[in-house]
Amino acid sequence: MANLASASKPRKFSSRNSSLGDKIFDICIYTALTLLMIVTLYPFINTLAVSFNAAVDSMKGGIHLWPRQFSVENYKFVFAENTVYNAAMISVLRSVIGTFVTVFASAMVAYTISRPEYVLKKFVTIAFIITMYINGGLIPNFLLIRDLGLLDNFWVYILPGIIGVFNLIIIRSFIEQLPDSILESARIDGAGDFRTFVNIVLPLCTPVLATVALFSTVSQWNSWFDVFLYNSSNEHLSTLQYELQKILQNSNTTSSAESGFANSGAEAMKVSPLSIRATMTIVASVPMIVIYPFLQKYFVKGMTVGGVKG
Amino acid sequence: MEKSATLTTSSSTLENKPTSFFKKLLQQRMLVLMSVPFVIWLFIFKYVPIWGWTIAFQDYQPGVSFKDQEWVGFKHFKILFTDETFAEQFLRSVRNTLAMSGINLVLGFVSAIILALLLNEVKKVAFKRTVQTVSYLPHFISWVVAAGIIQTTLATDGVINELLKWTGVIDAGQEILFLGKANWFWGIFGASTVWKDIGWNTIVYLAAMSSIDPSQYEAAEMDGAGRLKRMWHITLPGIKPVIIVLLIMNIGYLMESGFEPQYLLGNPMNVDYSENIDIFVLKYGLQQFNFPLATAAGMFKTVVSFILLFAANNIAKRMGQDRLF
């Protein structure tokens, strides 16, 4: 038991089974991994500290891990902006709707191509897999979206990405691993394919569906390029990521004439572009950071199935 | 006879009967209804854009019907590779694409394998879990957030410059504008992608390591092999198949160097090293409305990718690995 309490108290290298070399080896590993954690976490903690620090004080610099003058003014200011409030709503909406549609549709198609007797199994599978190799690219896609009338439209966030081939493959692999007997007994009870899918396959697939749902939520929440490309002229369809991107863009270039609300705030001297930026970064990233640890065991499994087996 | 009639929907009995394709299709109409609408969706959203490649062979005029467009053959491809004004920029973007995806490939692999090896040596479960969870974090933030963080970190008043001053590498007033140094961009890009995905990339290797037979380690220990030796002679060979599959697969994606980090971290000062093919396409296509040229550049990228993927897949097959796709 004494061994377990090692790292903090330096002891003589006499514990059983471990040589001096082993100890040094352990120390190196623990140091390296601790450094990695610091490098990963420091930027977030620093941003968090700045976002909770009084804006005028932040401009003096020197804030590292903890706010110097604690204040929630930055958050109050950011959420008082209709743009941000609205963008948060759109971000939530697209994440929720997009995830539901993706999970249901991917699982349904995956179920059909897992049925050995399905006559179109090969056709459907190949049709999807080809799209992993070839895609039209930016311009043809843009023209398609334009021609479909999806510019300045909320559904451009949902429709083009309903089914991803990767998701399809990991769900199919999962369904194929389910014991045949369960599906067969459902059939003997007279359940049709759709009922078998909804009542039996879906509940059994919870682990893999949780993985797909996480992937889908993260990619919906984090995407900004489709907003920029298709909906940038319509402020009501903007998302948090896109609002943040605009702020970064503006603080990156020297001209600040059109930097929108970040500037109007600076005039009031209660907030500064620096603080707004930090606050928006936190608002835009915290939901995903809070979610993923709870789903860790699922996505680790999903990645291992999909990543190697394909 | 009665029994088989009630079971016609199950697979085993169907195969014996010489039923026609359409009869089967009718019997399986539920499966058809569940999948074919999405094949139509797939056709519209993924296959119709491929038809859009025809633009690359036209002097495309918006608003003019397809049959009235003027066909110009490979004119735009010639422009991409030989025209004085465009070729230089395009070839530069190809160079940047290959360089950055190459850096990504090498650094991504090496860093993730090293981290997985280190994690595999940690005996304290709680510590290992903590490191893993923390290391996945940057994968779950957007590139917008990541780019903001990277800009802040590398700014003249950022933490890197502070560290350099504190350690005496530079003096006050000599702060380095990292993102303004064009030829440092590839390095910054490489470090950024490692920072963002190192943890995520370890998942596959750690899974492979957990399936290595523990008796191998015990046997090696009996023979007096130290931990470094065991790492080198047992763990690494144990995950070799996974490394090879992933390596081959990634060679297929050499033309994909990413878009977001370059776009978000790029600026006029580092454009010579940050602009890749995707940004070239965006710039000429949607900002300067030269649709045919941009489509040609995009098409070039996809065709090369396609060839690379096919080659990769074949190599994998020949090496006795499972088909990748």
Asked if residue B313 is part of any domain, the answer here is yes
**pLDDT on residue A180:** 84
Question: The tokens of A83 are what?
Answer: 């743009």
**pLDDT on residue A22:** 83
Per-residue pLDDT at A205 exceeds 80: yes
Q: B49 and B96 share a domain?
A: no
Asked if residue B214 is part of any domain, the answer here is yes
Q: B26 and B83 share a domain?
A: no
**pLDDT on residue A308:** 45
A257 pLDDT band, cuts 50/70/90, is very low
Per-residue pLDDT at B325 exceeds 50: no
State mean pLDDT over A239-265.
66
Question: The tokens of B69 are what?
Answer: 């467009």
Per-residue pLDDT at A292 exceeds 60: yes
For residue range B252-304, list pLDDT tens digits in order: 888 888 899 999 999 999 999 999 999 999 999 988 899 999 999 999 999 99
Q: B39 and B141 share a domain?
A: no
User: Closest by alpha carbon to B142, among A56, A286, A130, A232?
Assistant: A286
Does B299 contact A137 at a Cβ distance shorter than 8 Å? yes
Q: Which of residues 269-298 of B touch A (CB under 8 A)?
A: 278, 281-282, 285-286, 291, 294-295, 298
A3 pLDDT band, cuts 50/70/90, is very low
Asked if residue B168 is part of any domain, the answer here is yes
CB of B159 within 8 Å of a chain A CB? The answer is: yes
Closest Cβ opposite residue B144 in set A116, A159, A245:
A245
String of DSSP letters for chain A: -GGGGTTTS---TTSTT--HHHHHHHHHHHHHHHHHHHHHHHHHHHHHHHHTB-HHHHTT----SS-SSB--HHHHHHHHSHHHHHHHHHHHHHHHHHHHHHHHHHHHHHHHHH-TT-TTHHHHHHHHHHHHH----HHHHHHHHHHTT-TT-GGGGTGGGS--HHHHHHHHHHHHHS-HHHHHHHHHTT--HHHIIIIIIHHHTHHHHHHHHHHHHHHHHH--HHHHHHSTT-GGG--HHHHHHHHHHHHHSS--TT-THHHHHHHHTSS-HHHHHHHHHHHHHHHHHHHGGGGHHHHHHHHHIIIII-
Q: Can you tell me which residue has the tokens 């993923």?
A: A292
State mean pLDDT over A100-110.
97
State mean pLDDT over B93-119.
95
Does B142 contact A37 at a Cβ distance shorter than 8 Å? no
State mean pLDDT over B206-227.
89
Mean pLDDT of chain A: 86
Residues of chain B contacting residue A148, judged by C-beta atoms under 8 Å apart = 44
Asked if residue B72 is part of any domain, the answer here is no
Q: What CATH number is associated with residue B284?
A: 1.10.3720.10
The DSSP bridge partners found for residue A53 are A70
B202 pLDDT band, cuts 50/70/90, is very high
Close Cβ partners of B91 (under 8 Å, ≥ 6 residues apart):
B81
Per-residue pLDDT at B4 exceeds 80: no
Measure the CA dihedral B304/B309/B312/B313, to 10°.
Answer: -150
Mean pLDDT of chain B: 88
Does A143 contact B52 at a Cβ distance shorter than 8 Å? yes
**pLDDT on residue A2:** 39
A61 pLDDT band, cuts 50/70/90, is confident
**pLDDT on residue B320:** 67
Q: B176 and B53 share a domain?
A: no
Per-residue pLDDT at B121 exceeds 70: yes
Does B122 contact A281 at a Cβ distance shorter than 8 Å? no
For residue range B85-95, list pLDDT tens digits in order: 899 999 999 99
Asked if residue B66 is part of any domain, the answer here is no
Q: B26 and B138 share a domain?
A: no
Residues of chain A above pLDDT 90, percent: 63
String of DSSP letters for B90-103: HHHHHHHHHHHHHH
Question: The tokens of A177 are what?
Answer: 């691993």
State mean pLDDT over A224-251.
92
Per-residue pLDDT at A262 exceeds 60: no
Q: B203 and B133 share a domain?
A: yes
**pLDDT on residue B209:** 93
Domains and CATH numbers, chain A: 2-51 (no CATH), 76-309 (1.10.3720.10)
Per-residue pLDDT at A309 exceeds 50: no
Per-residue pLDDT at A40 exceeds 80: yes
Q: Can you tell me which residue has the tokens 């074919």?
A: B36
User: Closest by alpha carbon to A128, among A149, A148, A157, A108?
Assistant: A108
For residue range B5-55, list pLDDT tens digits in order: 444 444 444 445 557 888 888 889 999 999 999 999 999 999 999 999 999
**pLDDT on residue A256:** 36
Q: B233 and B95 share a domain?
A: yes
CB of B39 within 8 Å of a chain A CB? The answer is: yes
Chain A residue with minimum CA distance to B9 = A187
Closest Cβ opposite residue A131 in set B42, B122, B260:
B42
State mean pLDDT over A286-308.
84
Question: The tokens of B275 are what?
Answer: 């602009």
Asked if residue B325 is part of any domain, the answer here is no
**pLDDT on residue B17:** 54
Domain count, chain B: 2
CB of B36 within 8 Å of a chain A CB? The answer is: yes
Cβ atoms < 10 Å from Cβ of A4: 8
CB of B260 within 8 Å of a chain A CB? The answer is: yes
How large is the ipTM?
0.86
**pLDDT on residue B18:** 57
State mean pLDDT over A38-64.
91
d(CA B3, CA B24): 19
Q: B154 and B231 share a domain?
A: yes
A306 pLDDT band, cuts 50/70/90, is low
**pLDDT on residue B225:** 84
Q: B210 and B89 share a domain?
A: yes
Per-residue pLDDT at A10 exceeds 50: no
Per-residue pLDDT at B306 exceeds 50: yes
Give the lowest-confidence range in A54-58, B119-123, B179-183.
Answer: A54-58
Give the lowest-confidence range in A76-85, A168-177, B231-240, B312-321.
Answer: B312-321
**pLDDT on residue A230:** 96
State mean pLDDT over A133-153.
93
Asked if residue B27 is part of any domain, the answer here is yes
B118 pLDDT band, cuts 50/70/90, is very high
Asked if residue B235 is part of any domain, the answer here is yes
Q: B121 and B51 share a domain?
A: no
Q: B27 and B90 share a domain?
A: no
Q: B154 and B208 share a domain?
A: yes
Domain span holding position B13: 2-57
The stretches of B177-235 forming alpha helices (DSSP H) are: 185-210, 214-222, 227-230
Closest Cβ opposite residue B142 in set A115, A241, A292:
A241
Question: The tokens of A240 are what?
Answer: 């948090």
For residue range B94-103, list pLDDT tens digits in order: 999 999 999 9
